[in-house]
Each structure stands twice: as C-alpha cells, then as structure tokens.
C-alpha cells in the first residue's frame, strides 16, 4: 500500500473544528484525501484548513449547522461542487452531557438529540447518493461511511440516559444502513470509543475516572485504518477503549 492510499479521494468530516473530527481530517489529509471540514465554527475551520494547506494538503472549510436539514444538504453540495466528488463521510459531530434525569434540563437533552441524531441523519441522507456514485466511478471501487459512536451505545451507566439513547440509536441505524448499501459497494462502519479526552464531553456532576484517556488522534487513526482497507474488507464495528478502562 502506498504512503497515500487515499490519493484522489474526497472526504467530508463533521465536527471538524476540534477533537476527533479535527484529528480525523488531519489524518485523512496525510493519507492523501482532499477533505471538507464541516462544523458550525467557521473561524476554527478556516484556521485548520489553512494549516493543512500550508503542509501541502488540500482542505476546505464548510461552515454549517447540520441540525438544519437545508444547511446539511448545502454542505454536501458545496463539497461536491468544490472538490468534485465524495468518497468518504465521517460523522464525528457529537455532544455528551452527563447528568441524572432529576438534574438534567430538557434543553440539554434536546441538544444531544439534535446534534447526535438529527444532524447525523441530515448529512447522511444528503451524502448517500454521492457515495454510491463514488463507489461506481473511483479506482478504489468502494466508498465509506464511518459513524463515530461510543461504548455508550453498548454499555449503559447512570447519568447517561439520553446520551445512551442517541448512541444506541446510532449503532442500530448504522447496521441497517450497512445492510442496505452492501450492493452499492458503500461500506458502513461504526467506531465505539471509550473515554476520550476532548471537548465534546460535559461531565456535569460526574467525577472523571482515574485513567489515561484516549486522545482524538487515536480515533482518527482508527478511521484511517477502516477507510484504507482493500474493497474486499469491510470493518463493520471497532471498539476502542482506554487502556485502563474497565467497562
């Protein structure tokens, strides 16, 4: 495999202004992909795109609130218009607010559902036709859709009821989509990280466990591993735990 196995491919990464999304965008550029950085914070995206361009990569900033369906569709259209195709979608935009039902606000629950579920659905629905076309026309003869989920989509703990709801839903949605898109040569994968040291985590009253947390680049490396496999290999799910994580 060459040093740039994604040469000629185009990826769209959501949540790309920080954390796992930013690390993933940087990792895919190093693998040779052109990347559309999508998030709400346009100033952060411009800075990251500038960094990547300076390093010899190709990245564009696409500021969009994906909780709005029209803006999600426009983000995909902008990516296709400016970069010419769409081979890889990485859904990493997410927020986690942990607290008990007694102490949570309905606004926090709505925030998680809007970003973790609705935004993912909007961008995925917009991107699927382009991914199918890319699989049919690229030299790789395959396209990839990677959803960054969580071990909270497999393991339930107190104070995470609505976050669990969003991540269990993501896992179920992804598996159904995987089966639907098999015949179109679009691979659908889920990454289930454990404890990650990044900004999407708002622990409220919850104490941090004493362990060395994963870093965003650990998950980015996992994304890159998935999307650079030969087309005969489809990795449907990977769990990535911190070394000291017990659950």
Residue 37 pairs in a beta bridge with 13, 61
With a cut of 50, say whether residue 201 has pLDDT above it.
no
Contacts of 187 (CB under 8 A, 6+ apart): 142, 143, 144, 145, 178, 181, 226, 234, 235
* CB distance 54 to 80 below 8 Å: no
H-only helix segments in 56-197: 69-83, 106-113, 120-137, 161-181
Calculate the average pLDDT of the chain: 94
Q: Tell me which residue of 105, 111, 92, 114 sits closest to 39, measured CA to CA.
A: 92
pLDDT digits (tens, 9 = 90+) for 133-158: 999 999 999 999 999 999 999 999 99
**Three-state SS at 68:** coil
∠ CA(56), CA(62), CA(64), 5° rounding?
155
The class (CATH top level) of 10-240 is alpha beta
Which H or E element spans position 30?
helix 19-30
Domain boundaries, the chain: 10-240
pLDDT digits (tens, 9 = 90+) for 111-128: 999 999 999 999 999 999
Diameter of the chain measured on Cα atoms: 54
Question: Around Cβ 137, how many Cβ atoms within 10 Å?
Answer: 12
Per-residue pLDDT band at 204 (split at 50, 70, 90): very low
* Residue 163: active-site member: yes
Catalytic choice (73, 130, 163, 225): 163
With a cut of 80, say whether residue 94 has pLDDT above it.
yes
- Read off the tokens for 157: 């703990």
- Read off the tokens for 128: 């699927």
**pTM passes above 0.85:** yes
DSSP annotation string for 195-245: SB-STTEE-TTPPPPSS--B-HHHHHHHHHHHHTS-TT----EEEE--TT-
């Amino acid at each position: 495999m060459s040093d740039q196995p994604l040469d000629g491919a185009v990826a769209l990464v959501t949540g790309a202004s920080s954390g796992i999304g930013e690390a993933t965008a940087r990792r895919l550029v190093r693998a040779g992909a052109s990347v559309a950085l999508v998030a709400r914070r346009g100033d952060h995206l411009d800075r990251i795109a500038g960094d990547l361009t300076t390093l010899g990569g190709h990245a564009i900033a696409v500021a969009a609130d994906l909780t709005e369906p029209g803006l999600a569709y426009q983000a995909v259209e902008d990516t296709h218009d400016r970069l010419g195709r769409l081979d890889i979608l990485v859904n990493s935009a997410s927020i986690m607010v942990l607290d008990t039902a007694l102490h949570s606000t309905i606004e926090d629950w709505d925030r998680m559902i809007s970003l973790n579920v609705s935004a993912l659905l909007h961008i995925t629905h917009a991107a699927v036709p382009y991914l199918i076309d890319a699989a049919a026309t690229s030299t790789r003869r395959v396209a990839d859709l990677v959803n960054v989920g969580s071990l909270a989509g497999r393991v339930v703990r107190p104070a995470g009821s609505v976050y669990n709801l969003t991540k269990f839903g993501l896992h179920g949605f992804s598996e159904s989509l995987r089966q639907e898109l098999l015949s179109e040569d679009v691979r659908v994968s889920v990454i289930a990280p454990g404890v990650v040291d990044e900004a999407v985590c708002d622990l409220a009253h919850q104490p941090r466990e004493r362990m060395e947390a994963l870093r965003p680049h650990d998950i980015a490396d996992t994304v890159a591993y998935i999307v650079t496999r030969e087309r005969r290999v489809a990795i449907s799910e990977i769990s990535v735990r911190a070394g000291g994580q017990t659950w």
